[in-house]
A and B are shown apart, each in its own frame.
Chain A
């Protein structure tokens, strides 16, 4: 085996990469650092890097600011809306890819629902959920103001068009002969969808799920307007540390660290499925 030669160019290149990496990672590093700082050291100048670490900020965030509820809410909302988006999005996207209903007009119409900013529709959403919450239907389904269900619906509505467009090309890439072949092998339409189409579309579904999760996890506006206490989400919760007495930097950093971790874990898990060319070798050419 040939031993790789280390050249000056290689060393310089790696040093440059290290430097850029440090620039990008520093804010996150600073956030983690701040979350462990005692309150009096947070804003000292020059900043301290060596101090007695404390968990006070985390204690404050979870006990005084009820952050565990916000995290639970956000996990439920992001998880449920992503599940709905993937289920309905893949079904819709598959039929668009295979049957092209509406000759592309319906596809385009779906896209147009994303052509206005969220702030333009947040008031209608507010009014709809306010009134829906007073009906037996809304109460039965847990829809209404300051209800987790409302945000699930809102995020699903927002993410579906994007998901349909994203998954469309993944479904289109799957050769139809594979489905015909599976039918002849003795499987029904639905079985073919579940056993052949979905596994081959897994990369598209993983990408869609990540985007959908990230959107729901990071969304602020709807979470702010549609909730008060019971259905608060983490982004709104973090903004709550901006108090009349000033910004509580320590607890804010602690809460932010806790917010980042689950998404990091999910992204790393789903990354395994984000491989291109799963259909490689299926057909000739």
Chain B
């Protein structure tokens, strides 16, 4: 069990990590996900003992790690810039951590060969890192970290610099390898697909602050705030500013900027209750895959929009529509023959949108709501 207890790291006046609390169970694959400069690598360095926290404590298996030097923490790490021993061959790079444990050379050779086979770097074992391509170097770095048994594996963007095909394949290998090792893995990435597909639980951080720590499913379906919602998913979630209003005596939402020709969105029961106390700075977010468009108005598709751009993916189109001043992306079947400035109707309803107040989420579409709507 790895625990971060209110860990803060400041560099001068800049706070890189702010009161971070994490708990990783043994054998858990945790992905730290966030934009550049979020404090992802700093968090890994803190866990590894490369830098010391300004405040807070890090515990491993019930022991505090403060002042334990990196070589006694039994962790391994892949560095984002590889950090290969360029004066040694690939074989010696992989063997380096094993030699520290004074492992017999026959056993070292066996393990190196095994790891080289998994990572497909067998033919390069006699070369030095300077004579490898970027992708090959990254695999050597990964191999060096995974070759020995450790309590925690820290992986800082270990596969981000591989080409798309190899990355996809390595993602699978990495997951299988870590499952076999039953190891606790902390994996840093800025690629949300990698984060979603690898992790048991995901840590989303921004500017040193923890945004959400949950399963990939929960992060995707019930994002805690607008940052998490906007950062997970492709194409990114569209946000629409709304105001609380009433229609026929019932509370509902008016899309701002459409006052002349009001675009009204109905409100779910749970959200209605929440908005009773405070309804400032409201915004709804819709995922392109959750909503659909229709060329005719109907009970289900009641929000008027105008086609702004159509991007073709082949099997379907990503249609960017405009409601008032807001742009909303929708995934639509291809072949609708939509033209720019055509009028379309969207189903922005409680079962398709997330509601945020002051950037914090209030309501999410639930499975029950979707089932009730027959989606």
Contacts and interface: CB of A to CB of B under 8 A. Distances in A.
Interface stretch (B124-132, B188-196, B303-311, B326-334): B124-132
B79 A181 contact: yes
B87 A283 contact: no
Interface in B107-142: 128-132, 134, 137
A284 B70 contact: no
B354 interface: no
A284 B82 contact: yes
A237 B75 CA distance: 61
State which size class the interface on B falls in. Answer: 20 to 34
A185 B97 contact: yes
Interface string A171-205: 00001011011111111110100001001101000
A151 to B, nearest CB: 35
A282 interface: yes
A65 interface: no
Contact of A186 (B71, B81, B134, B137): B71
Most A CB atoms within 10 A — which of B49, B82, B161? B82
B83 A177 contact: yes
B137 A281 contact: yes
A47 B84 CA distance: 61
A284 B137 contact: yes
A270 B131 CA distance: 24
A207 B137 CA distance: 29
Contacts of B262: none
Contact of B131 (A175, A196, A281, A284): A281
A120 B55 CA distance: 54
B48 A180 contact: yes
A177 B79 contact: yes
B100 A186 contact: yes
B128 A187 contact: no
B86 interface: yes
A41 B20 CA distance: 89
A49 interface: no
Contact of B130 (A196, A199, A280, A285): A280
A184 B96 contact: no
A284 B100 contact: no
Contact of A281 (B50, B100, B128): B128
Nearest to B79: A177
Most buried by B among A178, A189, A280: A178
Given A180-B48, A180-B70, A283 B128 contact: no
A239 interface: no
B85 interface: yes
B113 to A, nearest CB: 19
A184 B131 contact: no
A182 B87 CA distance: 13
A181 B137 CA distance: 15
B352 interface: no
Contact of A282 (B45, B76, B129, B134): B129
A196 B71 contact: no
Contacts of A186: 71, 97, 100-101
A139 interface: no
Contacts of B287: none
B161 A284 contact: yes
Contacts of A188: 69, 71
B346 interface: no
Interface string A255-285: 0000000000000000000000111111111
A175 B81 CA distance: 10
A285 B80 CA distance: 11
Nearest to A192: B71
Contacts of A279: 86
B100 A278 contact: no
A184 B71 contact: yes
B70 A183 contact: yes
B73 interface: yes
B59 to A, nearest CB: 18
A189 to B, nearest CB: 8
B144 interface: yes
Interface centre among B49, B71, B96 (most CB of A within 10 A): B71
Contacts of A285: 81
A196 B100 CA distance: 13
Contact of A180 (B50, B129, B131): B50
Given A281-B131, A284-B81, A285-B81, A183 B69 contact: yes
B132 A281 contact: yes
A285 B161 CA distance: 11
A184 B132 contact: no
A27 to B, nearest CB: 40
Contacts of A189: 69
B86 A184 contact: no
11 contacts: A175-B83, A180-B79, A183-B70, A184-B48, A184-B50, A185-B71, A185-B144, A186-B101, A281-B84, A284-B82, A284-B161
Interface of A: 175, 177-178, 180-189, 191, 196, 199-200, 202, 277-285
Given A180-B83, A183-B50, 11 more contacts: A182-B85, A182-B96, A183-B70, A184-B70, A185-B71, A185-B144, A186-B71, A200-B87, A279-B86, A282-B84, A284-B80
| 5 residue pairs, one from A and one from B, having the closest CB atoms | A281-B130, A186-B100, A281-B129, A177-B83, A185-B97
